[in-house]
Structure 1
């Protein structure tokens, strides 16, 4: 099931590039704050949403992405960035060649039993591994109701803090006593979240939600019905029914340091 979801994005690569949000710069800075140097790998880079933020912040960035359609979008948008085909389980970089590995809305797709040692291999001593996630801020009433209307398929987990904690357990992120190839490789993870936002219209928000894996894998009739419910809801909310609005979001971060 995970592979089916993870491989669903290529067919929607152009829409993903057009509609998905970037990442809160403050979140990226926090993720990289302890990094020993400026060399950063964006792993599972998709169409370059996180890559672009890294470049804007001045980091020496290389991107690795397994899906050819997503990689083509990244190369088109950021032609000056070194962008390579590859995966978290087989990273096409030399040992100790980067100071940080970041994954934007991608860490949960990795097979961490294989990816963990690979990440450790390419990281310099003291290097940082960090996962970042953009989610809608469902502490806002209309966003929480949108999650209910869509049965959460297009929105994701309602409890953002629990999402980060669950990710730590489910993804076997490195801890002092488990995961990522052993206790000596990584320290205990830290987590933080940062306010973020995106200007949307009802149509562009529907288009954004249509790029979520939970929607992409739906049968066509079910997907059309789900997006129809969302469109009807947005048309009847004062916050979203007329013109452009600000979509409240959070960028969550989990980071850990290589020993």
Structure 2
């Protein structure tokens, strides 16, 4: 199974689980309605949290009343999830090797994850475990590049991505259309991640897989670049609390739809 996990995820998330928890933003309130109305989750449904990581999105699924099965291949992330959500069934697995029977779940949700495994093979496997009419939800939190300083921060990060799959490249869309699913439908929401610069900027960047996997000296250089950006930006300089603007993109496709 390790061979199915991209090297950036395997190396970076192995060491960055704690930083991931501190640095990653929550999701906007509208996501609750998206889960219940668009994905149809309630106390009678079963949902897979696929690529669940440390469980950052798991609580949103639990709140719907649905039975949640968290699937994650990186052991260190799965351990954090199990500690946070002891009542959730947490299992080791990948998108192309789900440890579940055919037609056994009502929905699969990939939060901040689908770009890692976007392929025909993964969609075949997701379709296998979904019931007829079941739904696949894909959701990402993205820094809002309409705010002037955000592209400058993104440039620092993106310069180091190498061959790491990323949402913004759009490469994940090549997995669609898929014969088992209908057309992608999207909703977008806006929100902010407010806190200390250490958490909402530095730890967010440090939790990026390919940055977490770098040697310490290179990570220190990135910190220096970010400090320089903060010092130059009026919206950031000298502030103990800042807000990083986000937009959330939420997609759904229906099996047989």
TM-score category of the 2 structures, normalised to the smaller one: 0.7 to 0.9
Contact 1:202 1:235 in 2 (8 A): no
The residue that corresponds to 2:137 in the other structure is 130
Distance in 2, matches of 1:56 and 1:114, equals 30
- Corresponding residue for residue 121 of structure 2: 114
Q: How big is the shift at 1:9? A: 0.8
Deviation at 1:22, TM superposition (A): 2.4
Partner of 1:64: 71
Moved over 6 A (4+): none
Structure 1 unaligned segments of length 5 or more: list them: none
Query: Which residue number in structure 2 is paired with residue 27 of structure 1?
Result: 31
Which residue of structure 1 lines up, in the alignment, with residue 243 of structure 2? 246
Helix, strand or coil at the partner of 1:9: helix
> Would you say 1:152 and 2:158 are equivalent positions?
yes
Residues 81 and 109 (structure 1), Cα distance of their counterparts in 2 relative to 1, 3 Å cut: same
Describe how 1:196-215 pairs up with structure 2 within 5 A.
196-204=191-199, 205-215=201-211
Task: Report how many residues are paired.
Answer: 243
Distance 1:52 1:68, change over 3 A: same
Q: 1:141 aligns to what SS in structure 2?
A: coil
Partner of residue 13, structure 2: 9
1:168 matched to which residue of 2?
Answer: 173
Question: Structure 1 length as normaliser, TM-score?
Answer: 0.84
Instruction: Give the TM-score, by structure 2 length.
Output: 0.85
Cα distance in 2, alignment partners of residues 36 and 248 from structure 1 = 28
1:255 Cα deviation from its structure 2 partner: 1.5
67 and 151 in structure 1: CA distance in 2 versus 1, 3 angstrom threshold: closer
The 2-side partners of 1:154 and 1:50 are apart by: 26
Change (3 A) 1:164 1:60: farther
Deviation of 1:153 (Å): 4.5
